[in-house]
Amino acid sequence: MKEFKVVVPWMEGLHMRPAARLVKAANHFLSSIVLKCGEQITDLRSIISVVSLCATMGMTLDVTTSGEDEHAAAQAIQQIFSGPGANPADSTSKPGP
């Protein structure tokens, strides 16, 4: 079992677009992936459950991966929270040329 924390980096919070990326990533692994926000616990394979956490920007979430590919699953989830599109500056519109 691998446990770690992530911080919601998106200005709009954990909305449909990042939730869809998380669910898509979770479905590539055999391991169980659980997301906890306060007292709410959800399976990362359910987009409705993920969005219903109502996690806002800056909130800390606990992630637990458990199974034969738990390390790869954890790495993939961490990448989504820190990769392209995770920086609030990436989600603002930029002036054109």
Task: Check 2, 11, 13, 15 and give the catalytic one.
Answer: 15
CATH number where 64 lies: 3.30.1340.10
Catalytic status, residue 28? no
pLDDT band at 97 (very low <50, low <70, confident <90, very high): very low
Q: Is residue 51 part of a domain?
A: yes
Contact 96, 70 (CB under 8 A): no
Does some domain include residue 96? no
- Which two tokens mark 8? 């919601």
Q: Which domain holds residue 30?
A: 2-86
Across 41-66, average pLDDT: 96
Q: What is the mean pLDDT of residues 29-53?
A: 96
- DSSP-derived letter for residue 81 is H
DSSP string, 21-70: HHHHHHTT-SSEEEEEETTEEEETT-HHHHHTT-PPTT-EEEEEEESTTH
Residue 54 CA to residue 9 CA, distance in Å, equals 13
Mean pLDDT for 46-67 is: 96
Residue 34 lies in a domain: yes
